[in-house]
Structure 1
Amino acid sequence: MSNVNVSPQERNWFGHPPGLTILFLTEMWEMFSFFGMRALLVYYMTKQLDIHQQFASLIYGAYAAFVYFTPVFGGVVADRWLGKRNAVLIGGATMALGHFMMASEALFYPALATIALGNGLFLPSLASQIEGLYREGDPRSKSAYNVYYVGVNIGAFIAPLICGSLGEAYGWHWGFAAAGLGMLTSLVIYLSGSRYLPPETRRTAATVRTRVTLDQSTWRRLAFLIGIAAIVVVFRGAYEQVGNTIALWADAGVDRHVAGSWSIPMTWFQSLDSLVVFTATPFLLARWSRLAKRGIETPWLKKMAFGAAIVGISYVLLALVAGWAQAHGTRAHWGWLTGWFVLMTLGELYILPVGLGLFGRMAPEGLRATSIAIWFFAGFFGNLLAGALGTLWSPLPHGWFFMLIGAVAGVAATLLYVVGLRMGHVEKSENAGLATMLSR
């Protein structure tokens, strides 16, 4: 069929509107810059700036938490004043500036603050444009957030390999510069593909007044989303151990020897999460599509509960392995940690991208970026909770610690399942009234 008289937003690239590819690539390179800098951050503080390890860890944790905190305000600013396009451009440019500021040791703390502030504008404003790519009732929108999540993880996968290698081999500033170039690449892609993105609503005094008028239905949906975000905080307390106690165990509790004198670098395991995401997502989406054609479609909250349960089970299995190894005075084989990453990430795919899609679909009109920001805000408290739980790593045997983390994920799974059962009427109501809700 010819594309004549078809708007750029309505054409298809790889079965989806081309705007999804633009958002996918924009976020991929933004994640490259973010994870590239993050991979170097602790090493830079301890080796270059001579910051004590405990204080460096506190700085790292606070930075990671505030990266999720600033989108709450950035989403409000985008919805109320700037608009999504301007917020993405200003936020991206600010983040790029922050990465390049990392080249100066004297600007270290201002650089971290600059990156976090730019991220606050960029992150919710980009993701909140996905829903506008699809007409109401378009079945492709069900998988859009999973496709977008693949872009997030491709960037996260390649970032440590490139930025980390440059930083270690040629100096930390080269790695930070590569991260800054990744952010600039993200902005170039966004600008070059802007014609494929949803048009901005013309911002007038009347539209602003409309946006701040919240009726009972809007308040009900916002309250529902805030409740789900609170449960996700509990889940992230377990999930965010990946870069914390899991990394510590990879160093102290895992036999990484492969052959000869070569052992797997402990940092390489951090790439497994992203690797599994973008390799397993196509198969998962295909399975969901086959089930949908047969009339079997699991509500979104039950999918999220299933994902949290899988993560909980993965930690329980890891607890058994770590407990056995510690009891016998040996280290666990690296294959166990690899298998854990695979199982844990499969659970992650059922909760994090699905939750992002839930917030995008249920967002009240005119408050979509704000609603997406609430989802990311759960990451702020989740990182703080994960840090608090991480303090139990030293006093507890490793097996018991991982069992505790598995229980935390299990609590999140139970809460999500119960809310899914009790709030079934909300799903039906929103499907009837908005035709955009949970069960799609």
Structure 2
Amino acid sequence: MSAAADKTWFGQPRGLTILFLTQMWELFSYYGMRTLLVYYMTKQLLFAQEKASFIYGTYTAMAYFTPILGGMVADRWLGKRNAVVLGGSIMAFGHFMMAFEPMFFAALATIALGNGLFLPSLPSQINDLYAAGDPRRGRAYNVYYVGLNIGGFMAPLVCGTLGELYGWHYGFGAAGIGMFLGLVIYIAGRRYLPPEPPRFVPPAGAVADAPGHHRQVWWLLLGVGIAATIFRGAYEQIGNTLPLWIDTGVDRAWGAATLPMTWFQSLNPLLVIAMTPLLLMVWRHGAAAGRETSPAMRMAIGALIVAAAYALLAVVAAVAGEARVGWGWLVAFFVVLTLGELYILPTGLGLFAKLAPPRLGATTVASWFLAIFSGSLLAGAVGMLWSRTSHSGFFLLLSALAVLAALLLWRLDRPIRMLPKPG
């Protein structure tokens, strides 16, 4: 498919802006609810920390398991556009259900169900905006990732503030409004999106070695997915146990005022927005000079940077002991963590989309979210150790998980580079 001629965002097609804004509001709703979830369970529903951590991990895992089925449904029957609209509508309904305490578990299940249709079908449209070999395609996922994090930045400030200061249900209601706005933008901008590809059927007349090549691709993607699972076990603690540490272990004083706990969760997306243009410039210059880093190696570097971020918290927590630490250390942690995140997460999504077999774009992208599913389950299990170990020991464990993920990605780099270039 030829790339659209119009350029409106970092020199990218207009359709990327529509996908960008749609995902921005979807992430506003998701992170708005996630920002409040652990606090709501422990402070309003009075769940024990271990139970709240387990529910959090299970919910985030299921939100990223349903896209496996949703991607297949989109590729074979619904189509990507219909899947986005239907899934987004179900998610909006689920977010509004969160405003009613008796519907708590039903609301979580509804959001996870809608996410299954929505999540793989939106980013899998990015590839179709570009002609084969278009050099903008790889960087498009970083631009798209900024859109995600604008929503993630606004969510704690809006939903978190409403929930923490005025009532949890106001925050959950605001998340539902965000999802609705995303749907409106997507429907209004459909003319800028790529045409709907044909539904998947086994390709007739395929070359004899194509099935073997596809099997090789799937095995390598499985390896990357396992590395991403291990990485997510550490990374996802920023929404699980880290908020508990912010609540009890960080001095949040700002003069005579105390900063709300949820505001600190805006640091990560804010830094993504600020740092992405700089990183894109560095990578662009590196590519022009013939020093472009391969995707798997870039992901390995990101995992090591995240390991350094958690090692920093381990040292800070060990030195502080029972005392609260200054919130400046938390800011430093988020700066390092976000740098690593930008190396690994959008690169992983782009790698899965790039290696997708023909007409299986949504299904392959959904496989990336399967790694988030398994990583979220791991994060929930790891989070249950929070109350059973020292804070410094826990953060050191997270650092070790990120290092393990980096080693696996490093071993996968050469086999991935040896794959035939996609057409």
Shared fold per TM-score greater than 0.5: yes
Match of 2:124 among 120, 128, 131: 128
Kindly provide the amino acid, as one letter, of the partner of residue 346 in structure 1: L
Deviation readout 1:110-160 (Å, 9 max, x if unpaired): 221111000000000001000000111111112100011011111011012
Match of 1:266 among 261, 279, 284: 261
- When residues 76 and 24 of structure 1 are mapped into structure 2, their CA distance, relative to the original with a 3 A threshold, is same
Amino acid in structure 1 at the alignment position of 2:367: I
Task: Indicate the larger mover: 100-109 or 239-248.
Answer: 100-109
SS at match of 2:12: coil
Contact 2:38 2:240 in 1 (8 A): no
**2:361 paired residue number:** 368
Q: Which residue of 2 aligns with 1:199?
A: 195
Task: Name the structure 2 match of 1:333.
Answer: 326
Cα offset, 1:263, TM superposition: 2.8
1:145·1:353 contact (CA, 8 Å) conserved in 2? yes
Is it true that 1:282 corresponds to 2:277 in the alignment?
yes
Quick one: which amino acid aligns to residue 320 of structure 2? A
Match of 2:371 in 1: 378
Alpha-carbon distance in structure 1 between the residues aligned to 2:323 and 2:102: 44
Aligned length: 417
**Alignment TM-score, normalising by the size of structure 1:** 0.90
Separation of aligned partners in 1, 2:282 and 2:238: 27
**Contact 1:9 1:195 (C-alpha < 8 Å) held by counterparts:** no
- Which residue of 242, 245, 258 maps to 2:238? 242
Q: Bigger shift: 97-106 or 127-136? A: 97-106
Comparing 42-51 with 27-36, greater Cα deviation is found at 42-51
**Which protein has the larger Cα radius of gyration, Structure 1 or Structure 2?**
1
How far does residue 353 in structure 1 lie from its aligned partner after superposition?
Answer: 0.5
Give the superposition deviation at 1:48: 4.6
Partner in structure 2 of residue 4 of structure 1: none
CA deviation vs aligned residue, 1:191-224 (integer Å, no higher than 9, x gap): 1111111101244xxx53439x972222221221
State percent identity of aligned pairs: 57
Greater shift, 19-28 or 375-384, is seen at 375-384
Q: Secondary structure at 1:292's aligned position in 2?
A: helix
Q: In the alignment, which residue of structure 2 is the partner of 1:3?
A: none
Alignment-mate amino acid for residue 286 of structure 2: L
**How far, CA to CA, are the matches of 1:246 and 1:103 in structure 2?**
25
Do structure 1's residue 111 and structure 2's residue 107 form an aligned pair?
Answer: yes
1:340-366 per-position Cα deviation (integer Å, ceiling 9, x unaligned): 110011001000001011011111111
Does the aligned pair in 2 maintain the 1:9–1:197 contact within 8 Å?
Answer: no
**Match of 1:30, as an amino acid?**
E
Which residue number corresponds to residue 203 of structure 2?
Answer: 210
SS at match of 2:387: coil
Q: What corresponds to 1:398 in structure 2?
A: 391
Structure 2: segments with no counterpart, 5+ residues: none
Q: Where does residue 303 of structure 2 map in the other structure? A: 308
What's the C-alpha RMSD, in Å, of the aligned pairs? 2.0
Deviations, residues 10-61 of structure 1 (Å, cap 9, x unaligned): 3211310000000000000111111112223334445554555543433222
TM-score (norm: length of structure 2) = 0.93
Contact persistence 1:312–1:410 (CA under 8 A): yes
Cα 1:70–1:42 shift into 2, 3 Å: same
Q: Take 2:404 and 2:124, find their aligned partners in 1: how far apart are those partners?
A: 29
CA apart distance, 1:333 = 1.9
Identify unmatched segments of 5+ residues in structure 1. 1-6, 436-440
Pick one of 144, 148, 154 that aligns with 2:144: 148
| Aligned with 1:323 (options 318, 321, 336) | 318
Shift of 1:104: 3.2
AA at the equivalent of 2:347: V
Distance 1:64 1:168 in 2: 21
Q: 3-state DSSP class of the match of 1:13?
A: strand
2:3–2:130 contact (8 Å) kept in structure 1 = no
